[in-house]
Amino acid sequence: EAGVVQSPRYKIIEKKQPVAFWCNPISGHNTLYWYLQNLGQGPELLIRYENEEAVDDSQLPKDRFSAERLKGVDSTLKIQPAELGDSAVYLCASSSLRRGETQYFGPGTRLLVL
């Protein structure tokens, strides 16, 4: 069974430029998460989707970050404009809808903002 797929794996951009990350969850997983991982830290939740609905976006910096999950499968996370402090790894994870189910992570997108 295929795991969570993310692209691109690496991205280098200049500050103030836009950037987008794409995630394809494990087939059949209704819940999708985006996490941010800074160097030397654990991942932190940005947004959680149940099917098409963003049910928890309280940690998403809405002035520059946006996300969508059209049709309840793939998801895109966007930053516009990017700042130096956005350099980090962006992780996507998916799970079934049931409480406490295991989240499976993709390989992440490593973003460097110059």
Partner 1 sequence: AQKVTQAQTEISVVEKEDVTLDCVYETRDTTYYLFWYKQPPSGELVFLIRRNSFDEQNEISGRYSWNFQKSTSSFNFTITASQVVDSAVYFCALSEASDSGGGADGLTFGKGTHLIIQP
* 56 contacts partner 1 (rule: CB under 8 A): yes
Q: Does 110 bind partner 1 (CB under 8 A)?
A: yes
101 is a contact residue toward partner 1 (CB under 8 A): yes
Beta bridge partners of 23: 6, 75
The rounded radius of gyration (Å) of the Cα atoms in the chain is 13
CA 67 to chain centre: 8
Q: Distance (Å, rounded) from C-alpha 26 to C-alpha 60?
A: 23
Pick between residue 14 and residue 104 the one whose CB is nearest to partner 1. 104
For partner 1, what does the binding mask look like between residues 58 and 77, x meaning CB under 8 A? Answer: --------------------
| Position 106 contacts partner 1 (CB under 8 A) | yes
